[in-house]
Amino acid sequence: MKEFMVIPKGFSGFPIEDEFITASENKKNTQVVIDDWMLGPESPSNEPAANKPYWVALGNAMQVDEKEARRRRCSNCEYYDNSTMTQAKMERIPRNAFDTNAGFRGYCNKFDFICHDLRSCQAWEEKECESED
């Protein structure tokens, strides 16, 4: 017979002392990425024709066409972390206006802020696949 571990009430999988950004650091870092790295679009959408000026500009900055730029979302970026532990840590940061209609939250390990799967920025890098050796 298997023995099951009892999880104490209030256990969230990590000590509250674990370091993570604060709401003010998140706000400041988000603004830096908006200003310096073309984080956007401001009003994200899954609609194929939405936010054309943003995606064209981002594509130009990345030296790819608009169609390719639209494929490069935070959610498939090397720096995007949406692991369960990171999700639990992000719950400490209250949702804000930038979360509205932006899709699922993830953590950007390059710029230390909460990003979203419907957005992108100029620092996007393709995730490296881990091979099984």
Average of pLDDT values for 79-105? 93
Residue 128's pLDDT is what? 83
Residue 75, token pair as written in the block: 């959610």
Buried/exposed 28-66: b ≥16 CB within 10 Å, e otherwise = ebbeebbeebbbbbeebeeeeeebeebbebbbeebeeee
Output helix, strand, coil percentages for the chain, rounded to the nearest 5: 35, 10, 55
Q: How far is CA 39 from CA 54, 61, 83, in A?
A: 10, 12, 22
pTM recorded for the entire structure: 0.83
Given a cut of 80, whether residue 133 has pLDDT beyond it is no
Distance, CA of 78 to CA of 43 (rounded, Å): 23
Residue in this structure with the two tokens 């500009």, named with its chain if needed: 57
3-state class (DSSP) for residue 79: coil
Given a cut of 80, whether residue 41 has pLDDT beyond it is yes
Radius of gyration of the chain (CA): 17
Average of pLDDT values for 51-71? 98
Given a cut of 70, whether residue 69 has pLDDT beyond it is yes
Please state, rounded to an integer, the average pLDDT across all residues of the chain: 89
Taking alpha carbons only, the member of 123, 125, 105 closest to residue 115 is 105
Residue 21, token pair as written in the block: 């950004």
